[in-house]
Chain A
Amino acid sequence: MSLFEAQGISVRFGGIRAVDDVTFNVEKGEVFSIIGPNGAGKTTIFNLISRIYNSTDGKLIFDGHDFTRTPSYQVASLGIARTFQNIELFPNATLLQNLLIGRHCHSRVGLLSQMAFLPSTRRAEIQHREKAEDVIAFLGLQRYRDSLIANLPYGVRKVVELGRALCIEPKLLLLDEPSSGLNVEETEGMGFWIEDIKKDLGITVIMVEHDMALVNQVSDRVMALNYGKVLAMGSPREVQTHPEVVKAYLGGELEDVA
């Protein structure tokens, strides 16, 4: 059984079908990339999975559990974490605090216990700290631990957002354009993180990406979208040479390009 399945999901904004009857499944341990021209509905699919939007049709299944109508704040505790295209960190908090917020869905201490900072809260805090430190060590963020996010360069923030998602200890990680705004070198680094996340942490990844080099480097399978519809699905090579995909990107036939 697949780890994640989307069965015929659709969403309409007014008259526009942003996502139209999209079906795909993601196997455990794979890196699944979604590509497509601007406005193809890639990020909308992410917003559907993280339940920020309601799908008008179809079903979302994660780990055998139908979560099509689960409220968005419960998605994290299911084991689905995400990053955002334009970085949605908490800029006036330190890196460490940002990572600890990622641990929120694992916190179980009651409000009164927190207000009095009872030993149970202290123990839980120390455990969260250990997990956050593991992520800091994994991503090599030690020197920025106590910096405010607002003072960090863009490339580092991108990694921090990845780290915050890892603090959720997800089974499925949604990466929305992990390379956007990064230079060639940083993009390459991001590619290595994604490979490590897959191999060392065993986390399944769904990634929206424009950078084809990165897609080729890390993806097991690729899905190409245009106007909310699936154009092609398969290995990176297959999808990129698929005539429909070439047409969507370049507006011509394969022969014209070659």
Chain B
Amino acid sequence: MRYLFRTDYRQDISVARHGGDLFWYGLLLFVMFVIPLVMGEFYVGELGGVFIFAIAGVALMLLVGYTGLISLGHAAFLGIGAYVNSVLLSRGVPFAITLPAAGLFTAICGAAIGLPTLRMSGLYLAIATLAFGSIVGTVFQKWESVTGGFDGFAVPTPSILGINLDGATGIYYASFVVLLFVIWVAVNILRSPMGRAMVAIRDSEVSAQSMGIHLARYKAMAFAISAGMTGLAGALFAHYVRFLAPDAFDVLLSVQFVTIVFVGGLGSIQGAIFGALFVRLLPQFIAIVRDDLPFGIGRLPGLEPSLFGLVLVLVILFQPDGINGLWQKAKHWFTAYPFKRQQSSRRQKSYAKSERLR
């Protein structure tokens, strides 16, 4: 068991809680860097996809898991980022500019969506963002002079510092760097006043307001930050799929993002990564076992979406903390061994809102 003896406020503020964190995350970083050198093209490509989804997952986690605002329109933000990046790139703008431009433009779109939808929450916000998603989808289809409409849009190969980022390895490293950047920003936000304001809005709007938090402004900022990060993911996604078609950014993709957040575990950045692994690797897993499944289940159409739905329902019912919750429990079991008991991780009922009776 590890006890932290804190002697300085900086210890609470720093990202790594103790030396162990530094070691394990450093090791993970190293392993991720050498993977393309030792693994096959297919796996590197798939991991690149995981990274891109993890970026979008972290973005949506800030919005859903920390600010408590739902969005079913994040596929549209991904699409905006993808098209902005690709269109600029095809007009000869270098990738080093198109990538941040995609993020920035999408962030502005996010703020523009955020401002009018601020007065809504829950179901109404979900519907508004859903509507936004389908509007943007239609724009992609109809604005043929820019997006190419249903004919699609071949994405030019990006290059940075003279290195062509073609092939799985290039996308892998580019996505990895952007993912690290996005996580760094997210962690910084969460340990700053901005992140605390987000949590405050999630937990109690009325008291957030009386603590001096401008609800409208902070919700719009959360929306903009989340959209901007998703725009970065979109720029990379364009290179990942190499050919943009408007129907790639439909509501099913938005639902996948929401699945990342819920299955990964609400309110944790790690959860977004776990969720992205799950969402990207489940289809691969299905593809591998498809032929071996009994009763021809594997040949059923719609097996993948229904499995996603089933997992989402099961997670919400039985494991609300998601994969991250399982991971934390497992970690706790090992650190507390042999003192861990079933009761330790049982959820407590709280009666906070009880009224005085006398």
Contact = CB atoms under 8 A, between A and B. Distances in A.
A180 B212 contact: no
A168 B193 contact: no
Given A72-B209, A164-B211, A87 B352 contact: yes
A138 interface: no
Contacts of A216: none
Interface in A178-205: 180-181
B199 A125 contact: no
A116 B354 contact: no
A104 B355 contact: no
A168 B208 CA distance: 12
B185 A104 contact: no
Given A129-B12, A181-B355, A104 B197 contact: yes
Interface string A199-231: 000000000000000000000000000000000
Interface stretch (A5-13, A14-22, A105-113, A237-245): A105-113
B50 to A, nearest CB: 24
Contacts of B209: 52, 72-73
Given A88-B204, A92-B202, A107 B193 contact: yes
Contacts of B351: 154
A125 B191 contact: yes
B192 A97 contact: no
For chain B, which range describes its interface: under 10, 10 to 19, 20 to 34, or 35 or more residues?
35 or more
B9 A129 contact: yes
A100 B196 contact: yes
Contacts of B189: 114-115
Contacts of A126: 9-10, 13
Interface in B195-227: 196-197, 199-200, 202-204, 206-215, 221, 225
A129 B12 CA distance: 9
Q: Is the interface of A mostly helix, strand, loop or mixed?
A: helix
A73 B352 contact: no
B183 to A, nearest CB: 12
A109 B192 contact: yes
A157 interface: yes
The 4 A-B residue pairs with the shortest CB-CB distance in the complex, in nearest-first order: A105-B212, A76-B212, A88-B207, A90-B203
27 contacts: A52-B206, A72-B209, A73-B209, A73-B212, A76-B211, A77-B212, A82-B210, A84-B207, A86-B355, A87-B352, A90-B200, A92-B199, A92-B203, A93-B196, A93-B203, A100-B193, A101-B213, A102-B211, A103-B193, A104-B211, A104-B213, A107-B193, A111-B194, A114-B192, A151-B348, A168-B211, A181-B356
